Structure 1
Amino acid sequence: MRKTKMNWDQLLSGIRLRDGKVKDRTVHNEYDLRNDFDDDYSRLIHSSAVRRLQDKAQVFPLDNSDFVRTRLTHSHEVSTIGRSLGISIESLLIEDGKLNKDHKGKLSSLLAVAGLLHDLGNPPYGHFGEAAIQKFFKLWFENKGAKFKENLGEQKYADFINFEGNAQTFRLASKLNNLFDEYGFNLSVASLASILKYPRSSTEGNKSDSDRRDDQLGISYKKFGYLQAEAERFDAVKLHTNIGESRHPITFLLEAADDIAYAAADIEDGCKKRVLDYEIIKKTLQEYLSDGTEEEQDLLHSFVTTYEYNLKEERSDRLDNAVQNLRIKAQGFMIKSVIKEFILNHDDILNGVYDKDIIMASEAQNVRKAMKKLSYIIFDSKEIVLREYAGGKVIQGLLEMFVEAVLSDNRDDTKTEEGKLYLLISDNYKDIMKKYCFERVGDQPSIYDRLLLVTDFVCGMTDSYALELYRRLKGITL
């Protein structure tokens, strides 16, 4: 076995940060023979954070359709695709002597955890919610919050103006589930490392495509993965898994599973909502696949012939059926291509020199490009634009009210407007801030911690709850 910078024994570490040990589940139950990541999955699947994903948008915010995917259905799909990738890859690595056979079952279980976990920190209304939070704080720090900018310093200031759902996910997973203490779900360090798509701070990451090209930086510098408040936990995760400055290898597969899940699935939803039609899909597939490999051309041919057959048979669901068949074939091709790319570049990945979007580096890149172009058509539809715009106004309105409340000296006086608003914030998050804040000024949590309290509260909201709370606070409904 060739020696690499990272090794699977550490990468699959079951150490938990609460006590710095691997849990022995048989101490209290001799029949509990799950691995560390099966344990992590069980901790997550029963949590309120996962349940709330059922009312968070994947593509169509505040949609009442039973068919259109939510963040919850998307996360289950990512988890399933991730598990499939893990089963195949770990078998091939064991066969090649690059993975100890004692680890069989762990890669697939870890990827199932990562898939379920990866979107937990996202605010309401999808990625537009992230943009709304970023926009609010950029404007706020230029105006009402200008006096706090210097107090926070560059790093903590950047945490807010560059707000990132991935960093919030790491915070939620490692701290915010207040069951016993400040260690949240107390997941294994491998599970926490697996979701660090961007193992950078808010000042190290967030590099534009052009800056990354000029500085020869990889995909892991595109955004950031942890807040300053979780810097010590991030360092502990790095130490125990030995990932150094690199991504955990599993993270490449998580990112691929995420892309594979939504790339084709978004098109299904777009057809169901009548945003896409046959000619648009056919034209886009032809643009990217007609001159491609035999497998790429087969995807195009299969879609066209399935639709034409359905048309001949006078099926009322002719397009939906053709797109479902396309999704199955396209996802299968992308999964195979990602497995091949990972195995071929295994040593470079474990040496930290591979820092690419693995699916875009694979043989499936043209399929991914075609799916991405179709997704952009969906995102630009009037229905989504209208709902996202409204959702952005909701989030910015809530932030304005609650930021003012947490910074007020009257926040503990329920007779005041600020005190009434402060009382509405989740007791769970307030308890965590009071007991386990990052910094104190005297006996009070710092400005930084109080602003984090607001983003924690808002990000924990579902789409419907955020809208309803905003309406009630504005007096639109009672």
Structure 2
Amino acid sequence: MWTHRRSGQTNQRGNQDHRDPYERDRTRVIHCPAFRRLQRKTQILGTDEGDFHRTRLTHSLEVDSIGRSIVHNLLMSQEKYIGLAGLLPNDDLISVICLLHDIGHPPFGHGGEVALNYMMRNYGGFEANGQTLRLLTKVESSYGTYGLDLTRRALLGILKYPVKRSTVAAPKQPPVHESIHKTIKINDWLPPKAYFDCEQPEIDWLLSPFSDSDKELFQSLSQMPHNTKSGKSAYHSFDCSIMDIADDIAYGVHDLEDAIHLRLINPSHLDTSELRQLLNNTLLTDRQNQIIDSLFSSDLYSRKQTIGEMVNYFITSTQIIITNEKFENKLLKYNLALSPEANALLNYLKQCIFNNVIDSQEARTFEYGGQTVVLRLFDAISSNPASLLDNKNRVLFNQAEDETSAYRIVCDYLANMTDEYAYRMHERLFGFNTRTIFERL
């Protein structure tokens, strides 16, 4: 049942096709246009800032590498998890999940995400992980009506937030600006982490192998929505938890490497008494001076060796835990987790990146610029769909059953854009250029 596809097809290429279902999934991902577009989508810095730093594509490749290494590490420790035979995903399955984890992200990172959520506020909203599910099951039409038509277990691993938007959305909306020429406040329009309500048929199929009690518990909340605050989902599936930790490691270590290389983080930002205390609690304690020195060394080989050492430390600090004894199915009952010491260190690294890169004036001005591009493009395209949509989406827009469905088509079109494509269209329509954060104001 976990290798089933919603179409019911096996899609084998004749009797000589030796590939298992997850290998076929991975092949579909590699050849998917939406996957290729990740090479021109922002990770933590704009794609025009140089060739060294990560894009969404190279980040996804690193998450894939880390995810597979985590599984290999767990396989070496199977004697600790005797009762979990068959639970671990194979290489192709975890690769698919990791490669696709960011595929629903729009141009300009969170600036684009917030802009789309604002423009879709009355039409079901927007959230990048929710868009990932929609893209894979509908929008990416390489394999017909069912999107990429991936296996059930692959889609389950990609489903990061198994609750629908209407369940977790804040009861009260922030103030609405009638003019899109006013920049919206990012923190006012952060989207709730959920799948879109219009994807419920896909979710029903996806979760159908689970018992009713497992489905109810899996879709429960750890935090209820209140006033202007959204609720939060409580659980991930096992495969998703592996991907989530691999993503955090890639962000906390590899994106740190980018920030150091671009001199956005210097020793005074990172080397604090808090970091030293955290390192003292880990297996890295005896090498903390060498680690700090190597990270900021001009010797790129030394720096890369240290980056690899840190990644390996986090990979080997993972363990399988029970999420809730009430779950019947092992894919829901168990999750991957970092040891408390490793988790505390990784959270420190992530916070350092946030404080000195993501929340910097340079990055925020880029984010706001991208937000404005998306706001204006959405307004222009939704007002003139017959003129400004491409042929494929123009047909879908005309076939839409209602206004909500029509706006969702516009949203899909914009979410699929790369940073470069969105810039070019904006320049063509409005004549503005806001490409780089390093052009001095």
> Shift of the alpha carbon at 1:386?
1.9
- The one of 441, 451, 461 equivalent to 2:417 is 461
Percent sequence identity over aligned pairs: 26
- The answer to whether the 8 Å contact 1:18/1:183 transfers is yes
- The one of 403, 415, 438 equivalent to 1:447 is 403
Specify the alignment match of 1:345 in structure 2.
322
**CA separation in 1, counterparts of 2:370 and 2:334?**
34
- The answer to whether the 8 Å contact 2:278/2:341 transfers is no
What's the CA shift string for 1:278-320, capped at 9, x where partnerless?
2322227635525x42414245233135469x5xxxxxx24x5
Map 1:193-208 → 2, pairs under 5 A: 193-205=156-168
Map 1:86-235 → 2, pairs under 5 A: 86-90=71-75, 92-93=77-78, 96-100=81-85, 106-138=89-121, 149=122, 157=123, 159-160=124-125, 163-205=126-168, 223-235=192-204
- The one of 341, 353, 367 equivalent to 2:345 is 367
The change in CA–CA distance for 1:115 and 1:263 in structure 2 (over 3 A counts) is: same
**CA separation in 2, counterparts of 1:387 and 1:130?**
14
* Residue 472 (structure 1) aligned with residue 435 (structure 2): no
Matched residue type, 2:342: A
* Residue 336 (structure 1) aligned with residue 329 (structure 2): no
SS, match of residue 14 in structure 1? coil
- The answer to whether the 8 Å contact 2:239/2:331 transfers is no
Specify the alignment match of 1:426 in structure 2.
390
**CA separation in 1, counterparts of 2:323 and 2:119?**
42
**CA separation in 2, counterparts of 1:115 and 1:85?**
12
Q: State the number of aligned residues.
A: 391
Specify the alignment match of 2:20 in structure 1.
35
**CA separation in 2, counterparts of 1:182 and 1:302?**
54
Specify the alignment match of 1:358 in structure 2.
337
SS, match of residue 226 in structure 1? coil
The change in CA–CA distance for 1:182 and 1:432 in structure 2 (over 3 A counts) is: farther
SS, match of residue 166 in structure 2? coil
The TM-score normalised by the length of structure 1 is 0.74
The change in CA–CA distance for 1:180 and 1:306 in structure 2 (over 3 A counts) is: closer
The change in CA–CA distance for 1:96 and 1:295 in structure 2 (over 3 A counts) is: closer
> Shift of the alpha carbon at 1:98?
3.3
Specify the alignment match of 1:396 in structure 2.
375
The change in CA–CA distance for 1:328 and 1:282 in structure 2 (over 3 A counts) is: same
> Shift of the alpha carbon at 1:125?
0.8
The change in CA–CA distance for 1:447 and 1:381 in structure 2 (over 3 A counts) is: same
Specify the alignment match of 1:270 in structure 2.
259
**CA separation in 1, counterparts of 2:158 and 2:301?**
34
What's the CA shift string for 1:38-71, capped at 9, x where partnerless?
1101001011111100000101113241211000
SS, match of residue 107 in structure 2? coil
The change in CA–CA distance for 1:75 and 1:64 in structure 2 (over 3 A counts) is: same
- The one of 271, 285, 292 equivalent to 1:282 is 271
> Shift of the alpha carbon at 1:326?
3.5
- The answer to whether the 8 Å contact 2:397/2:409 transfers is yes
What's the CA shift string for 1:230-281, capped at 9, x where partnerless?
1101110011466624232111111001111111111111112111112322
SS, match of residue 73 in structure 2? helix
Matched residue type, 2:262: K
The change in CA–CA distance for 1:476 and 1:393 in structure 2 (over 3 A counts) is: closer
Matched residue type, 2:44: V
Matched residue type, 1:34: R
The change in CA–CA distance for 1:136 and 1:175 in structure 2 (over 3 A counts) is: closer
**CA separation in 2, counterparts of 1:168 and 1:238?**
18
Specify the alignment match of 2:232 in structure 1.
none
> Shift of the alpha carbon at 1:362?
3.9
> Shift of the alpha carbon at 1:207?
7.6
The change in CA–CA distance for 1:177 and 1:241 in structure 2 (over 3 A counts) is: farther
**CA separation in 1, counterparts of 2:289 and 2:170?**
39
The change in CA–CA distance for 1:227 and 1:306 in structure 2 (over 3 A counts) is: closer
* Residue 261 (structure 1) aligned with residue 228 (structure 2): no
**CA separation in 2, counterparts of 1:59 and 1:50?**
18
Matched residue type, 1:460: N
Matched residue type, 1:117: L
The change in CA–CA distance for 1:31 and 1:79 in structure 2 (over 3 A counts) is: same
Matched residue type, 1:458: L
Map 1:246-325 → 2, pairs under 5 A: 246=218, 247-283=236-272, 286=275, 288-290=277-279, 292-298=280-286, 300-306=288-294, 317-318=298-299, 323-325=303-305
The TM-score normalised by the length of structure 2 is 0.80
- The answer to whether the 8 Å contact 1:303/1:322 transfers is no
Matched residue type, 1:128: G
**CA separation in 2, counterparts of 1:352 and 1:41?**
21
Specify the alignment match of 2:35 in structure 1.
50
What's the CA shift string for 1:154-181, capped at 9, x where partnerless?
xxx4x31xx2100000000011122342
Matched residue type, 2:387: K
Matched residue type, 1:397: R
SS, match of residue 83 in structure 2? coil
What's the CA shift string for 1:93-114, capped at 9, x where partnerless?
588443556x88x433211001
Return 5+ residue gaps in structure 2 as ranges. 172-190, 219-235, 434-441
Matched residue type, 2:105: N
> Shift of the alpha carbon at 1:328?
1.5
- The answer to whether the 8 Å contact 1:271/1:277 transfers is yes
- The answer to whether the 8 Å contact 2:35/2:103 transfers is yes
**CA separation in 2, counterparts of 1:391 and 1:363?**
37
The change in CA–CA distance for 1:301 and 1:235 in structure 2 (over 3 A counts) is: same
Matched residue type, 1:420: S
Matched residue type, 1:168: Q
**CA separation in 1, counterparts of 2:340 and 2:23?**
30
- The answer to whether the 8 Å contact 1:56/1:124 transfers is yes
Larger helix proportion of the pair: 1
